[in-house]
Chain A
Amino acid sequence: MADATFHKSGWIRAGIPRTGGWRIATIVLAVVLGLFGIALLLGGIWLIALGGSWYYALAGAGLCITAWLLARQRRAALPFYVIVWLLTVVWAFWEVGTDWWAQVPRLVAPTVVLVLILLVLPALGRARNR
């Protein structure tokens, strides 16, 4: 596929903007996740210093690493984030069980992030092949 875009003029018009768009989306996602990750990491360190939960600093670090992998167009971003997400789910149920309203801040945003990473996955695939 990637080769085809460079050799067949018909693919160039359709393929390059598409690839460029996905790449931009990946970069934007990486930047946004990076900012959230830094906020969680720094706030989480503050919370640990105050004697609070360790989750936020760890999740923030996980998000920062995910963002870095995304920025490098690395496919490993997905399995890495899946581990972060799974640990988040385990932690969330350990904290509040099936209190679904209490799960809103714990599960909704991390799951949205998972969906977004899945969406940009094709772009990561191409980048790696090249």
Chain B
Amino acid sequence: MNSMILRAGLAALLASTALPIWAQETAAPPAGDQAQIPSALPEAEDAEAAPPQQAPQIQPAQPTAEPEPQPDAAAPGEPAPDDLPAPEGAGQAEAPVPAPAERPAQAQAQVGSDWPFWGGNADATRYSPLSQITPENVDQLERAFVYRTGDMPMGDAEGKYAAETTPLKIGNQLVMCSAKNILISIDAATGEENWRYDPQVSNDAIPYSASCRGVSVYTAPDVPDGALCKSRVIEATIDARLIAVDLTTGDLCSDFGENGQIDLWQGIGEKVPGWYAVTAPPAIVRGVVITGAQVKDGQAEDAPSGVIRGYDAVTGEFVWAWDLGNPGEYGQPAEGETYTRGTPNMWTTAVADEELGYVYLPMGNSSVDYYGSNRSEHENQWATSLVALNALTGEPVWSFQTVRRDVWDYDLGSQPSLLDFEGTPAILLPSKQGDIYILDRTTGEPLVPVGEIEAPTKGSVEPDFLAKSQPISEWHTLRKDDLTERDMWGFTPIDQLWCRIQFRRASYEGFFTPPSADRPWIQYPGYNGGSDWGSVAVDTDRNILIANYNDVPNYNKLIPREKADEMGLRPINEKSPGESSGNNAEGAGDPQAGSPYAIDVNAGWRNTGTGVPCTRPPYGGIRAIDMTTGETIWDTPIGTARRNGPFGIPSYLPMKIGTPNNGGAVITASGLIFIGAATDNLFRAIDVETGETVWSDVLPAGAQANPIAYEVDGRDYVLIAATGHHFMETPIGDYIIAYRLPE
């Protein structure tokens, strides 16, 4: 579910301290820092005058807000879930876990001239201190180069490409992975290719999409300077390999794993290509490379494990495995055994905390997303939670569950960001439901108010399984009000009427309406968010959070097993290789083998025949949020109607409509937001203060990728990949496009 839809038509907590207080460690404050404060001050003052809303914040640890994973509906008689293991004392691990002292924290590369991490800096704030390109001169931007990776879909990979490429910039080079994991280094100023390494991934390994969101670079302190693989590029592939190559030559690191590679299928079980794939860059904490994997959704309860594993970044040696179904055990399974199957996985990008030695894992749901009665208590405990692990041992430290007993595929899709929140080392967590949480990094305790809402159970096929209440963020949510009949849309009264009839026939009790089989149910927001893998960006100087989001429902129905069999819905392991289609929307006819129901998802709730969405625009927006108050500063649809129209015919209308979007933003210290993401194929710059689009360029393909900012020889660049996205229905391409101001 790392993807998206349709083309049609998108206080005063610092009352006592006027200065932004959390720009400290997260990003080096640029020279222009002081200049920005005047513009931030009036807002803080206004907020001061406002009626105080900060009362709840003074007691962050409200009883209802505790990240207890047990839902109210815990079935009697079942074993109580294990208490969260403490960092110490679980000590049963037989794994060769080095003592933490052996892995001291290392200094982390800073964002600025370089873009050393997928999320910009180690804190993943996507905030660049560069300031040469400003709202005043941005209209002069010109293309510095267009590089083409050459990785385009061939044969049965057609309709399955969504590269989602974001390079890193280190020194004078950009390093990236293509859709099918070709590692490439190009010159950051000219786009000339330095080297490439092709791991020869076969088409049948493509899970749902051929995606490789990024790579990670690790510089080994103990390897002598100038030696091969002193600095290494590490990627995880869709055919489940962890690969390390030398940063300067692209040669495989022979000291890593077996000649530079580790087979992640070890301990997973029967190798079914496409079922177990990695699309996210690994996290690296104190020399431990940590990865999860995407387990193709909706196939079967007996699916590959969602195990999280750590390997030594230099030797590739196995360090630990966190198999949530097997608490207290951090080693590899014995010969012939596997990690616990069907457990929640982490397909998106984790964030590393070098200082605390933790890795924060945005966990997804169990393999069968829309039916939960067969899940284990362990699955119920950890699914759809942010989990902090001790990165040196794999032991869980704390967890925070955003959905209890998730039957909506509300995986945590966004990479969380690390920041200092009112003096506390914090982690900011966006969710697909749109709720944004800020937690204490050391304890997982919420630092902003977390509320409870009653969750409907009417219409459910498993009302006893469902949680009776769910957490929400009272600090900020991107979620809009529940749908009403008048939100139904179309191009004429006739298709609008048909949508209204569908609305009235569906089971809909608002947010968290449970899955039903007797009639369709409306899930709003749908599985694409809210916030998805593009994540959010935080301007740590202005204290502004920038979040782009989707505003799209899904129209779903559970299909009883008998009917699913008639329809020929079979899991991936019962199909011949390559047979599993990738171009249908995710969840559109997934078997969920082992459970009594298959699932049919109409992603984006598009009308029969016309393909026009049943709900009115906008389908996506971008919002600026005041980090001190949690209040919206501005909010505007993102994406124009230029490529949208009935029956897929582009309208070329330049008006903003607000399209579905996938891919995050970069903020520069000069006050610009750069973002593609929408389905209009535009790369645009938005003024962070006003939300106004101040520049845009038409790209040759969809820009469903996170952009970056960097500098070479005194000139600032912004770069985006126009590689397209099959599910977002944007043209596929292999373009890496960099922009700079003329000399």
User: What residues of chain A have their CB less than 8 Å away from a CB belonging to chain B?
Assistant: 36, 39-40, 43-44, 46-47, 50-53, 56, 59, 95-96, 99, 101-102, 104-106, 108-110
Residues of B within 8 A of A104 (CB): 489, 491
The answer for the CA separation of A90 and B420 in the assembled complex, in Å, is 52
**Interface stretch of the complex, out of B500-508, B572-580, B686-694:** B500-508
Q: Mark B705-717, 1 if CB is under 8 A from A, else 0.
A: 0000000000000
A53-B485, A95-B486, A99-B616 known; A105+B504 contact, CB < 8 A: no
Provide a sorted-by-A list of 17 A–B residue pairs whose CB atoms are within 8 angstroms. A36-B494, A40-B493, A40-B497, A44-B497, A47-B500, A47-B504, A52-B503, A56-B500, A59-B493, A101-B616, A101-B617, A101-B657, A102-B617, A105-B496, A108-B492, A109-B492, A109-B494
Residue on B with the closest CB to A99?
A: B616
- Please determine whether A53 and B500 come into contact, CB atoms closer than 8 angstroms: yes
- Please determine whether A52 and B500 come into contact, CB atoms closer than 8 angstroms: yes
- Please determine whether B486 and A43 come into contact, CB atoms closer than 8 angstroms: no
The answer for the CA separation of A109 and B492 in the assembled complex, in Å, is 6
Known: A44-B497, A52-B501, A109-B494. 7 other contacts (CB 8 A): A50-B501, A52-B503, A56-B493, A99-B616, A101-B489, A101-B616, A109-B493
Size category of the binding interface on chain B: 20 to 34
User: Could you tell me the distance in whole angstroms from the C-beta of A88 to the nearest C-beta in chain B?
Assistant: 8
Residues of B within 8 A of A43 (CB): 494, 497-498, 501
The answer for the CA separation of A56 and B487 in the assembled complex, in Å, is 15
A46-B501, A52-B501, A53-B500 known; A96+B493 contact, CB < 8 A: no
Residue on A with the closest CB to B491?
A: A105
The answer for the CA separation of A53 and B499 in the assembled complex, in Å, is 12
User: What residues of chain B have their CB less than 8 Å away from a CB belonging to chain A?
Assistant: 9, 485-487, 489-498, 500-501, 503-505, 616-618, 657
- Please determine whether A50 and B504 come into contact, CB atoms closer than 8 angstroms: yes
- Please determine whether B492 and A105 come into contact, CB atoms closer than 8 angstroms: yes
Residue on B with the closest CB to A36?
A: B494
Residue on B with the closest CB to A95?
A: B486
The answer for the CA separation of A26 and B485 in the assembled complex, in Å, is 35
- Please determine whether A102 and B497 come into contact, CB atoms closer than 8 angstroms: no
- Please determine whether B494 and A40 come into contact, CB atoms closer than 8 angstroms: yes
The answer for the CA separation of A7 and B340 in the assembled complex, in Å, is 95
- Please determine whether B496 and A106 come into contact, CB atoms closer than 8 angstroms: yes
User: Could you tell me the distance in whole angstroms from the C-beta of A109 to the nearest C-beta in chain B?
Assistant: 4
Residues of B within 8 A of A46 (CB): 501
The answer for the CA separation of A28 and B497 in the assembled complex, in Å, is 24
The answer for the CA separation of A47 and B504 in the assembled complex, in Å, is 8
The answer for the CA separation of A59 and B494 in the assembled complex, in Å, is 11
Residues of A within 8 A of B503 (CB): 52
Residues of B within 8 A of A36 (CB): 494
The answer for the CA separation of A46 and B500 in the assembled complex, in Å, is 10
Residues of B within 8 A of A108 (CB): 491-492
Residue on B with the closest CB to A102?
A: B616
The answer for the CA separation of A15 and B728 in the assembled complex, in Å, is 55
The 8 Å CB contact of A52, one of B485, B490, B491, is B485
Residues of A within 8 A of B495 (CB): 105
The answer for the CA separation of A99 and B494 in the assembled complex, in Å, is 19
Interface of B is mostly: helix
- Please determine whether A105 and B500 come into contact, CB atoms closer than 8 angstroms: no
Residues of B within 8 A of A95 (CB): 486
User: Could you tell me the distance in whole angstroms from the C-beta of B424 to the nearest C-beta in chain A?
Assistant: 41
- Please determine whether B490 and A105 come into contact, CB atoms closer than 8 angstroms: yes
The answer for the CA separation of A47 and B499 in the assembled complex, in Å, is 10
The answer for the CA separation of A37 and B494 in the assembled complex, in Å, is 9
User: Could you tell me the distance in whole angstroms from the C-beta of A114 to the nearest C-beta in chain B?
Assistant: 13
User: Could you tell me the distance in whole angstroms from the C-beta of B679 to the nearest C-beta in chain A?
Assistant: 16
The answer for the CA separation of A40 and B496 in the assembled complex, in Å, is 10
A101-B617, A108-B492 known; A51+B497 contact, CB < 8 A: no
User: Could you tell me the distance in whole angstroms from the C-beta of B555 to the nearest C-beta in chain A?
Assistant: 16
- Please determine whether A110 and B493 come into contact, CB atoms closer than 8 angstroms: yes
The answer for the CA separation of A96 and B486 in the assembled complex, in Å, is 8
- Please determine whether A106 and B493 come into contact, CB atoms closer than 8 angstroms: yes
- Please determine whether B9 and A101 come into contact, CB atoms closer than 8 angstroms: yes
User: Could you tell me the distance in whole angstroms from the C-beta of B613 to the nearest C-beta in chain A?
Assistant: 11
The answer for the CA separation of A43 and B496 in the assembled complex, in Å, is 11
- Please determine whether A47 and B494 come into contact, CB atoms closer than 8 angstroms: no
The answer for the CA separation of A47 and B488 in the assembled complex, in Å, is 13
The answer for the CA separation of A43 and B498 in the assembled complex, in Å, is 7
- Please determine whether B492 and A47 come into contact, CB atoms closer than 8 angstroms: no
The answer for the CA separation of A50 and B505 in the assembled complex, in Å, is 7
The answer for the CA separation of A115 and B32 in the assembled complex, in Å, is 58
Residues of A within 8 A of B504 (CB): 47, 50-52
**Which of B491, B495, B501, B617 is most buried by chain A, counting CB atoms within 10 A of its CB?**
B501
The answer for the CA separation of A104 and B496 in the assembled complex, in Å, is 10
Residues of A within 8 A of B485 (CB): 52-53
User: Could you tell me the distance in whole angstroms from the C-beta of A34 to the nearest C-beta in chain B?
Assistant: 13
**Which of B486, B498, B503, B618 is most buried by chain A, counting CB atoms within 10 A of its CB?**
B486
A40-B494, A101-B9, A106-B496 known; A47+B657 contact, CB < 8 A: no
A47-B500, A53-B500 known; A39+B494 contact, CB < 8 A: yes
The answer for the CA separation of A50 and B519 in the assembled complex, in Å, is 14
User: Could you tell me the distance in whole angstroms from the C-beta of B491 to the nearest C-beta in chain A?
Assistant: 6
Residue on B with the closest CB to A88?
A: B493
The answer for the CA separation of A96 and B487 in the assembled complex, in Å, is 8
The answer for the CA separation of A4 and B474 in the assembled complex, in Å, is 79
Residues of A within 8 A of B490 (CB): 105
User: Could you tell me the distance in whole angstroms from the C-beta of A59 to the nearest C-beta in chain B?
Assistant: 7
Residues of B within 8 A of A102 (CB): 487, 489, 616-617
Residues of B within 8 A of A47 (CB): 497, 500-501, 504
The 8 Å CB contact of B489, one of A51, A105, A110, is A105
Residues of B within 8 A of A56 (CB): 493, 497, 500
The answer for the CA separation of A44 and B489 in the assembled complex, in Å, is 15
User: Could you tell me the distance in whole angstroms from the C-beta of A122 to the nearest C-beta in chain B?
Assistant: 27
The answer for the CA separation of A33 and B496 in the assembled complex, in Å, is 17
The answer for the CA separation of A46 and B498 in the assembled complex, in Å, is 10
The answer for the CA separation of A95 and B490 in the assembled complex, in Å, is 15
Identify the 4 closest CB pairs spanning chains A and B, nearest first. A50-B504, A105-B496, A109-B492, A102-B616
User: Could you tell me the distance in whole angstroms from the C-beta of A87 to the nearest C-beta in chain B?
Assistant: 13
Residues of B within 8 A of A96 (CB): 486, 616
Residue on B with the closest CB to A101?
A: B617
User: Could you tell me the distance in whole angstroms from the C-beta of A33 to the nearest C-beta in chain B?
Assistant: 12
User: Could you tell me the distance in whole angstroms from the C-beta of B520 to the nearest C-beta in chain A?
Assistant: 13
The answer for the CA separation of A95 and B484 in the assembled complex, in Å, is 11
Residue on A with the closest CB to B657?
A: A101
User: Could you tell me the distance in whole angstroms from the C-beta of A36 to the nearest C-beta in chain B?
Assistant: 7
The answer for the CA separation of A50 and B501 in the assembled complex, in Å, is 7
Residues of A within 8 A of B505 (CB): 50
**Which of B9, B493, B657 is most buried by chain A, counting CB atoms within 10 A of its CB?**
B493
Residues of A within 8 A of B489 (CB): 101-102, 104-105
Residue on B with the closest CB to A109?
A: B492
- Please determine whether B493 and A105 come into contact, CB atoms closer than 8 angstroms: yes
User: Could you tell me the distance in whole angstroms from the C-beta of A61 to the nearest C-beta in chain B?
Assistant: 13
The answer for the CA separation of A43 and B500 in the assembled complex, in Å, is 10
Residue on A with the closest CB to B637?
A: A101
Residues of B within 8 A of A109 (CB): 491-494
Residues of A within 8 A of B494 (CB): 36, 39-40, 43, 109
Residues of B within 8 A of A99 (CB): 616
Residues of B within 8 A of A53 (CB): 485-486, 500
